[in-house]
Amino acid sequence: MTLELTTGDQSMLHGEQGSAAAAAMKILVAFAKAVGARKLLNIAGAHIDGCLYHGQASLDFVERLIEGGGRVRVPTTLNVGSFDLIHPGLVKMPMSQEAPARRLMMAHLDLGCQATFTCAPYQTRFRPRFGEQIAWGESNAIVFANSVIGARTNRYGDFIDLCCAMTGRAPAWGLHLSENRRGQILFELTGGLEPSDALFVGVGLLVGQKSGDRIPVISGLPQPRDEDQLKALGAAAATTGAVALFHAVGITPEATTLDEALHGLAPEEKIRISRADIRHALARLSSVPDGVQLAAVSLGTPHFSHEEWMRLLPLLREVAPGRGVPIYVNTGRATLTRLQDEGALAGMEAFGLVPVTDTCTYVTSILERLDGVVMTNSGKWAHYAPGNIGLSVGFGDMEDCVRSAAAGRVVRGAP
């Protein structure tokens, strides 16, 4: 299959726009040929998932682009890094790791990327619009952009996402194309389920586990309270599977009807999800029973939105947990700045609140204790933390997490 390149593409490829652009285009062309794309298309923005330091190769790649005079050509946001640049004292990292981790984050700024350092760029001023072509990394951001907003991106990994940003182009394949956005597997929710936060996590876990490489359609999902519940569903689905797009009938923009979601065709498979299925999926997130002593609470994976903070802060005042069990809240720096400007966080440290920006507590050494149980309301955090940082997890709604912090032990259910 021949890849058609425009005059501009050829100009970049042949080095007429600098060595960095040439290197990025060379990689992008090879990638496009590998996936069978016929051409490249313009993108309106990019989100880069390469700020986490995994070794010298990632830093070498970015610094080579800087040496070649590279600059991104579209608005480009950055995912979390390995370090909290706003609260450096929180991170426990030897200097041999800290120096390159910091440098990798800052090097992306030298390329003209925006210092967002958040896994939720869709809740910043850089939110894309319906139908816009973008090139995003970070699994939860990809599924949210495709599903909840209706923007268009594939699952772009490290380096390819940056090559798209450096060229302003992406391969015309996969979810960039309308015909590839058709729902294929239908999940039917049964039993009149209440729209709790845990429900959306549970549905996401099951959808991710059972969809494989097919695009899921969900019918019978209750109307969400806000987009944060859909954020939680997508994050869980992208964590337990390869979901990059889901359609929720009557909720998401490309699924006003079941027929629209399926593009008028029959689903390849139907799966029913019951209350018991959801309860079982959520139970598997918790490795501890109720009553176990608690070391910490971690919220905000994906990063807490301003709306989630507005639900959390009154709850803290109502329940009034003390300093005994810290409550770490992972959030974007722009969201934190807004809260500080509003004076919303005044006195919150008395309740054990510890804001974390630029990174996440399951990817870097922030938690004071790793020998106990950590409570979370995040399906993604609960799934990854045991393997990443080696601790036991209790899962519950936000209310469960705050009440558990107050009690000093895992408490779930109504107060």
Distance between alpha carbon 123 and the CA centroid of its chain, in Å? 11
Q: Residue 271 burial (CB < 10 Å; 0-12/13-18/19+)? A: middle
Residue 412 lies in a domain: no
Residue 413 lies in a domain: no
Examine the domain organization and report whether 259 and 307 are in the same domain.
no
Examine the domain organization and report whether 147 and 115 are in the same domain.
yes
- Domain end, chosen from 177, 210, 240, is at 177
Supply the pTM of this predicted model. Answer: 0.97
| Adjacency order of strands within the sheet including 134-136 | 76-78, 45-48, 134-136
**Residue with tokens 């799934």, as numbered in its chain:** 383
Residue 243 lies in a domain: yes
- Domain end, chosen from 253, 283, 313, is at 283
- Domain end, chosen from 144, 177, 210, is at 177
Residue 356 lies in a domain: yes
Q: Which residue range(s) make up the domain with 25?
A: 7-177
Residue 16 lies in a domain: yes
Residue 288 lies in a domain: no
Please compute Rg for the chain using Cα positions: 22
Examine the domain organization and report whether 309 and 400 are in the same domain.
yes
CATH of the domain at 308: 3.30.499.10
The two tokens of residue 19 are 């060595």
Give me the residues of the chain with pLDDT under 70, please: 414-415
Examine the domain organization and report whether 125 and 204 are in the same domain.
no
Residue 415 lies in a domain: no
| Residue 129, pLDDT score | 98
The number of folded domains in the chain is 3
Examine the domain organization and report whether 346 and 222 are in the same domain.
no
Examine the domain organization and report whether 143 and 241 are in the same domain.
no
Read off φ and ψ for residue 201, nearest 5 degrees.
-65, -50
Opening angle at CA 236, ends 75 and 260, nearest 5:
75
Residue 1 lies in a domain: no
| Residue 415, pLDDT score | 41
Examine the domain organization and report whether 272 and 171 are in the same domain.
no
